[in-house]
Amino acid sequence: MKMNKNFTAIDLFAGCGGLSEGLRQAGFNVIAAVEINKYAAETYAANHKETLVFDEDIRKFNLKQINEMLNGETLYLLAGCPPCQGFSSMRRLNRKEPVDDPRNDLILEYLRFVKELMPLTLMMENVPSIINYDLFKYVVKELKARGYNIDFEVVNVSKYGVPQRRKRFVMVGSRIGEIKVSPGNDERRTVRDVIGDLESAYNSSDPVHRIFPKHNTRIEELISKIPKNGGSRTDLPEEFVLECHKRENVGFRDVYGRLRWDDVSSTITGGCLNPSKGRFLHPEENRCISAREASLLQTFPSDYIFPLHIPKASLALMIGNALPPMFSKIQSSNIFTHIEEYFRP
The tens digit of pLDDT for each residue in 273-304 reads: 999 899 999 999 999 999 999 999 999 999 99
262 and 330 both lie in a single domain:
no
Q: Which of helix, strand or coil describes residue 281?
A: strand
Between CA 12 and CA 166 the distance in angstroms is 21
* Whole-Å CA distances, 221 to 217, 276, 286: 6, 14, 9
Residue 3 domain-assigned (yes or no): no
The confidence score (pLDDT) of residue 30 equals 98
Q: Do 129 and 221 fall into the same domain?
A: no
**What CA–CA distance (Å, rounded) separates 201 from 83?**
32
In a domain? residue 315 = no
pLDDT of residue 186: 85
Q: Are residues 75 and 133 in the same domain?
A: yes
74 belongs to a structural domain = yes
| Under 8 Å between Cβ of 300 and 208 | no
Domain assignment present for residue 273? The answer is: yes
Which residues of the chain carry a pLDDT beneath 70? 1-5, 84-103, 235, 237-253
Domain assignment present for 1 = no
Beta-carbon-side half-sphere exposure of residue 288 (alpha carbons within 13 Å): 26
CA distances from 18 to 14, 286, 293, 299, 319 (A): 8, 29, 15, 9, 9
Residue 321: count other Cβ atoms within 10 Å of its Cβ. Answer: 20
Do residue 182 and residue 218 come from a single domain?
no
pLDDT attached to residue 2: 40
Compute the Cα dihedral for 245, 248, 249, 254 and give only its sign: positive
Taking the C-alpha atoms of residue 288 and residue 123, their distance in angstroms, rounded to an integer, is 34
Query: In angstroms, rounded to a whole number, what is the distance separating the alpha carbons of residues 80 and 154?
Result: 16
Burial of 303 from C-beta contacts in 10 A (0-12 / 13-18 / 19+): exposed
Task: Find the CATH number of the domain harbouring 225.
Answer: 3.90.120.10
3-state secondary structure 116-150: HHCCCEEEEEECHHHHHCHHHHHHHHHHHHCCCEE
Q: Which residue intervals of the chain are DSSP H helices?
A: 18-26, 38-47, 64-70, 89-92, 107-117, 134-145, 191-195, 217-225, 291-297, 312-321, 325-343
pLDDT in the model for residue 244 = 53
Q: Please check whether residues 237 and 124 belong to one and the same domain.
A: no
- Residue 139 to residue 148: CA distance in whole angstroms: 11
pLDDT value, residue 95: 47
304 and 331 belong to one structural domain: no
**Per the residue annotation, which of 16, 81, 84, 288 is the catalytic one?**
84
Do 143 and 203 share a domain, yes or no? Answer: no
User: What CA–CA distance (Å, rounded) separates 231 from 198?
Assistant: 21
Nearest to 53 by CA among 105, 17, 103: 17
244 included as an active-site residue: no
What single-letter DSSP state applies at residue 61?
A: -
The verdict on 163 and 86 lying in the same domain is: yes
Query: What is the model's pLDDT at position 80?
Result: 96
pLDDT of residue 91: 44
150 lies in the same domain as 19: yes
Residue 335 domain flag? yes
Q: Is residue 274 part of a domain?
A: yes
Where in the sequence is the domain holding 302, given as residue range(s)?
191-309
Q: Examine residue 317 and state whether it is found in any structural domain, yes or no.
A: no
In this structure, what DSSP letter does residue 63 have?
A: T
- Cα 310 to chain center, whole Å? 19
Question: Same structural domain for residues 165 and 225?
Answer: no
Q: Same domain for 205 and 304? A: yes
Give yes or no: residues 73 and 166 share one domain: yes
Q: How many domains does the chain have?
A: 2
Q: Kindly report the CATH number assigned to the domain that includes residue 106.
A: 3.40.50.150
- Per-residue model confidence as pLDDT tens digits over 191-238: 999 999 999 999 999 999 999 999 999 889 989 999 999 998 876 766
Bridge partners, 149 (sequence order): 174
